[in-house]
Structure 1
Amino acid sequence: MNQKEDGGAEVLGLVDEHLDSVRERLTDAQYELLLTRLRALADTPGGDARAVLRAFQAVRLCLVPLPFDHPVREALDAVRFAGAAPVGHLAVLRTQMLLARITADPDPPPETSAVIAAVEDRLLRAPALSATEVRTRYRGAAPPAELIRLADPDLGDRYPEFQFEPGGPPYEVVLEVNRVLLADADPWGAADWWLSGNPWLGGGPPADLLGVRPDRELVGAAVALVEGA
């Protein structure tokens, strides 16, 4: 991902970055349990948001024995206080790639990289505004940080169009939901939530329900994801 990762993925990335010291600071039994929990997270159906969150929480508990000043433990505390959690099935795919590296496989499964690329391509093909168009709406001022901004390798920053009222500013409920989903940290995960089917909302993409379903239902579905309700 080109964008800053969500809190859960940041923890997983730090485990990868500091794997040697994580191994040194955990007992053999603790380390084996960590690997077991990572495998469980990697095998979790990405569409089951509750199961993803539960599996990540299990991984997090395995890392609690690390010293308080260890980078991974510091990130754990930051995730706990911020209420951040993996969003959607991209977290599972990231875990699969991490586990491939941990188990001494230098290359992630080709299908995993292909799936991530396909998800990103699907999200980038959704109608979007360019950075210039968004700045024009804000008369040159910086748009709200809560807006989802996706980095297109060919077209630059793109803002999915569903976030905006026709010809106007963003929907207030979109900004509220994006804050819940930590869209500034994980724009890809937040975009995937809005643009994929959602079982809590009858199976359709939440983006299609703006102005159709009550705002509180959209916010509630996002909160349920993050809190594992």
Structure 2
Amino acid sequence: MKTDDLLRLLRRHQGVINASFTPDEFARYQDAVRALRTAGSDVRAVRIALRRVRVSLDPLPPGSELYRRLTQFRTAGTTSVLPDADELAALLRLLDSVEWPSLADASAELFRELRRELLAVPARGSDRLDPVSAADPVAAGLIRLTGTDGREQYPDFQFAPDTGDPLPVVQHVNRMILADQDPWGAAGWWLGRSVQLAGVPAELLGRVPDDTLTAAARALTDGGEVAW
């Protein structure tokens, strides 16, 4: 199934989505679809956006036809991944027509809650970075989160407990999942549960081979197939 087939499938089953989702859940789904438009023709960014769409559809009833069809969704190669602009625009128009008075507020609150959760994890400031990373932490492959007070912090899972140096596998994966463009999404991947890894990626550092973590990230972003 190509990305365009997915978009048409979602349009056909919009009623199921409306009936199944809370305003918060719908806002998450709508934002994920909008990320497809923002991604443009960047194949890696499109793959990441597709991953966000998949996660946003988790609240669907497992017994529904749409849920069963989604389990069969796979894309391969550049041409099948990039969405047709007209197909994507049609789905976005449909989503924009859904009227929930609290939808905008729910979306904003959802992001605020995500920020609060991610900013609450153990982290360090710029003063605790090694000299090489401190020169340009983002270019060094580190996730930088900025609080509402403007303070910058770097989640501790990115660093070796004994030396405090950045973990090479984290730097590599962060570049793969475009942490420089979407640090909140990258932090969410590391700190959220991965079905493929059967655990939280950040908690698996040092417990599973680095290649396993890298493969899980590559399956979402790079060439080959993307499993829905």
* TM over 0.5, shorter chain: yes
Query: Structure 2 counterpart of 1:103, which letter?
Result: S
Structure 1 residue runs of 4 or more that deviate by more than 6 Å after TM superposition: 32-35, 42-45, 98-101
C-alpha deviation, 1:109, in angstroms:
4.5
Q: Is the 8 A contact 2:146 2:152 kept in 1?
A: yes
Residue 175 of structure 1 is matched in structure 2 by: 171
Q: Residue by residue, what CA displacement relative to the aligned partner does 1:27-54 show, whole Å, maximum 9, x if unpaired?
A: xxxxx969938959x8799xxxxxx8xx
- 1:132 is aligned to 2:127: yes
Residue 111 of structure 1 is matched in structure 2 by: 106
**2-structure distance, mates of 1:126, 1:221:** 22
Show structure 1 runs of 5+ residues with no match: 1-31, 46-51, 61-71
C-alpha deviation, 1:111, in angstroms:
3.3
Q: What SS class does the counterpart of residue 169 from structure 1 fall into?
A: coil
**1-structure distance, mates of 2:107, 2:121:** 22
**2-structure distance, mates of 1:38, 1:120:** 31
Give me the CA root mean square deviation.
4.1
Change in 2 beyond 3 A, CA 1:207/1:130? same
Query: Structure 1 counterpart of 2:180, which letter?
Result: D
**1-structure distance, mates of 2:203, 2:155:** 13
Counterparts of 1:1-229 in structure 2, within 5 Å, are: 36=11, 76-77=40-41, 79-80=42-43, 85-86=48-49, 88=52, 92=56, 102-103=96-97, 108-134=103-129, 137-138=131-132, 141-145=135-139, 146-154=141-149, 156-166=151-161, 167-202=163-198, 204-226=199-221, 228-229=226-227
Count residues with an aligned counterpart.
169
Q: What SS class does the counterpart of residue 174 from structure 2 fall into?
A: helix
**2-structure distance, mates of 1:34, 1:222:** 26
Q: Is the 8 A contact 1:137 1:168 kept in 2?
A: no
Q: Is the 8 A contact 1:148 1:191 kept in 2?
A: yes
**1-structure distance, mates of 2:220, 2:107:** 23
Q: Is the 8 A contact 2:11 2:94 kept in 1?
A: no
C-alpha deviation, 1:214, in angstroms:
0.1
Show structure 2 runs of 5+ residues with no match: 1-6, 22-28, 58-91
Change in 2 beyond 3 A, CA 1:154/1:101? farther
Q: Percent identity?
A: 37
Q: What SS class does the counterpart of residue 228 from structure 1 fall into?
A: strand
Q: Residue by residue, what CA displacement relative to the aligned partner does 1:156-198 show, whole Å, maximum 9, x if unpaired?
A: 1111110011242211100111111111111111100100111
